[in-house]
């Protein structure tokens, strides 16, 4: 369990993304319903947001509900949406206290109206937050993001605002839902699953992956620090050789 003092504060990732997984298994281990696992995950969210902000992370993206999650039993989907409304309402004051700005990415128009309203209100209330941006991925998937970007790019080309030849690796991400946000340096996935599950497909191209067996409802500040410590021990080569990195 990493202490604060073990973390190199001059090497904090600007953007950390998290696949919060394992709520269902956590509940099952306790003989409860899956919804109990989701309800029990709020402390993990709060701990992670506060620790990230205190350590100097600028963007924290939490995968809260994927496009594929719409295929879960209707009762579970409904419970997740209600929990979302309740949590946003309850946590807005903590976000304000910590100067954290809320932003949502995903096909949010498919969320129930009260969720959309709650999100819009919290986004507006917290827009002055300067310490960290909390990005909630809701009804999000990487393929959805690339598809909507392609659609808008095509529309700009059709309207003559953009030439196909002008589309570069720098242009495309300005059409993604994460426009203006740097790519994550670190991705944390809880509950031991070793997959991306259609998360930030473009943005994760060179992200360091950290997978922990800890189930999301058990995830605490110290686990977040463990992930940062592991990240700080990595050598990010971006295709170069190790020797090239020590020379430059
Ligand atoms: C993550 O936990 C929460 C969401 C995907 C909304 P799960 O509900 O996927 O938990 P497991 O993977 O079934 O344990
Ligand atoms: C990924 O978790 C989505 C979220 C954490 C919101 P899942 O539990 O849905 O992922 P798969 O389906 O097991 O890959
Ligand atoms: Mg899961």
CATH code of the domain covering residue 149: 3.40.1180.10
0.95 exceeded by pTM: yes
The residues that are catalytic are 21, 69
Neighbours of 36 (CB within 10 A): 18
The structural domain count of the chain equals 1
Q: Which residues pair with 59 in a beta bridge?
A: 15, 133
d(CA 127, CA 132): 11
Nearest atom in ligand 1 to the alpha carbon of residue 215 is: 14
Between the CA of 22 and the centroid of ligand 1 the distance, in Å, is: 5
Please say if the pLDDT value at position 248 is more than 80. Answer: no
The answer to whether residue 4 sits within a structural domain is no
Number of Cβ atoms within 10 Å of the Cβ of 153: 18
108 in a structural domain = yes
Nearest CA to ligand 2 atom 2: 21
* Pocket (CB within 6 angstroms of ligand 1): 20-25, 34, 65, 69, 80, 191, 216
Answer yes or no: is the C-beta of 82 below 6 A from any ligand 2 atom.
no
Look at residues 162, 185, 181 and name the one whose alpha carbon lies nearest to residue 173. 181
Among all bound ligands, the one having the nearest atom to the CA of 80 is: 1
Three-class SS state of 99: coil
> Using an 8 Å Cβ cutoff, are 39 and 84 in contact?
no
Q: Say if ligand 2 is within 6 A of residue 69 CB.
A: yes
C-alpha span between 17 and 92 (Å, rounded): 20
Q: What is the pLDDT of residue 246?
A: 86
| 198 within ligand 2 shell (Cβ under 6 A) | no
- Residue of 18, 19, 20, 21 to mutate, ligand 1, most atoms within 8 A of C-beta: 21
pLDDT-derived band at 1 (thresholds 50, 70, 90) equals confident
- Ion ligand 3: residues, CB within 5 A, are 21
pLDDT tens digits along 208-224? 999 999 999 999 999 99
Classify residue 85: in a domain, yes or no.
yes
**239 within domain boundaries:** no
Token match 């720098």: residue? 170
Q: Is residue 132 part of a domain?
A: yes
pLDDT per residue as tens digits for the range 131-141? 999 999 999 99
The domain in which residue 191 lies consists of 13-232
Please tell me the distance from the alpha carbon of residue 61 to that of residue 110, in angstroms, as a whole number. Answer: 20
* Residue 220 in domain: yes
Contact of 22 with 243, CB cutoff 8 Å: no
């Amino acid at each position: 369990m990493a202490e604060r003092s073990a973390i190199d504060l001059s090497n904090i990732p600007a953007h950390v993304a998290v696949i919060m997984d394992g709520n269902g298994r956590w509940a099952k281990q306790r003989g409860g319903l899956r919804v109990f696992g989701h309800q029990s995950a709020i402390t993990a969210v709060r701990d992670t947001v506060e620790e990230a902000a205190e350590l100097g992370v600028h963007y924290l993206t939490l995968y809260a509900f994927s496009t594929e999650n719409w295929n879960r039993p209707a009762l579970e989907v409904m419970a997740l949406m209600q929990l979302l409304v309740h949590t946003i309402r309850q946590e807005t004051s903590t976000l304000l206290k910590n100067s954290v700005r809320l932003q949502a990415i995903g096909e949010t128009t498919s969320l129930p109206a009260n969720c959309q309203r709650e999100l819009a209100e919290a986004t507006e209330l917290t827009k002055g937050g300067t310490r960290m941006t909390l990005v909630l991925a809701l009804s999000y998937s990487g393929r959805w993001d690339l598809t909507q970007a392609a659609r808008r790019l095509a529309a700009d080309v059709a309207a003559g605002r953009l030439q196909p030849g002008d589309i570069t690796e720098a242009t495309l991400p300005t059409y993604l839902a994460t426009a203006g946000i740097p790519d994550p340096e670190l991705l944390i996935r809880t509950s031991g699953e070793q997959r991306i599950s259609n998360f930030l497909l473009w943005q994760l191209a060179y992200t360091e992956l950290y997978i922990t067996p800890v189930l999301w409802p058990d995830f605490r500040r110290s686990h977040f620090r463990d992930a940062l410590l592991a990240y700080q021990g990595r050598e990010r080569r971006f295709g170069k050789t190790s020797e090239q990195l020590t020379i430059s």
